[in-house]
Amino acid sequence: MPYVDRVTSDLEAQLRAVSLRVTRPRLAVLAALRDHRHVDTDTVISLVRADHPMVSHQAVYDVLRALTDAGLVRRIQPAGATARYETRVGDNHHHLVCRTCGAIVDVPCAVGHAPCLTASDDHGYVIDEAEVVFWGVCPDCATPRSS
């Protein structure tokens, strides 16, 4: 089977696994997110519309919401940044964000499952997640630019 068809049937299987109807916009958004990590909504729109000019902005918004609700896509929103989307879900990985340029990279969870921090007092709550974001300065921004 050609690569493109194999990827498409793979994405179709992902949609069917969560009982979502297979539609062209859903396949296009999943394909864009498979190739580009931590992209914001505007980037997803331009990636999708480059291949499928007929897909509207609103359709992309709707698809992102449906895929996120279904758990196929993870939405992350570091404080002060626009929401980003990725298809790496279910592994409780964390993100490292550059304060200067906003670059985001994945950091595998040292513990591997949620919650990976223990609350000093759980106040009787059943805690299932600790939201961890690492902030810092990326190597590019830390190196003084020679002009």
Instruction: Show the site string, 30-59: x = touches Zn ion by CB under 5 A, - = not.
Output: ------------------------------
Angle 24-35/3-17 helices, nearest 10 degrees? 110
Q: Which is nearer to Zn ion, 46 or 112 (CB)?
A: 112
Residues sharing a CB contact under 8 Å with residue 141, sequence separation 6 or more, in sequence order: 98, 100, 101
67 close to 60: Cβ distance less than 8 angstroms:
no
What angle is formed at CA 94 by the lines to CA 90 and CA 96, rounded to 5 degrees?
A: 150
Query: Can residue 13 be called a binding residue for Zn ion (CB under 5 A)?
Result: no
Which two three-digit tokens encode residue 8? Answer: 């498409």
Give the C-alpha separation, 87 to 36, whole Å: 9
Q: Could you say which of 100, 119, 122, 129 contacts Zn ion (CB under 5 A)?
A: 100
> What is the footprint of Zn ion within residues 57-86 (CB under 5 A)?
86
Residues between 114 and 143 that touch Zn ion (CB under 5 A): 116, 138, 141
Nearer to Zn ion, 82 or 100 (CB): 100
- How far, in whole angstroms, is CA 119 from its chain's centroid? 26
Which region among 2-10, 12-20, 58-66, 108-116 touches Zn ion (by CB under 5 A)? Answer: 108-116
Q: Does 89 bind Zn ion (CB under 5 A)?
A: no
Chain residues binding Zn ion by CB under 5 A are: 86, 98, 100-101, 103, 106, 109, 111, 116, 138, 141
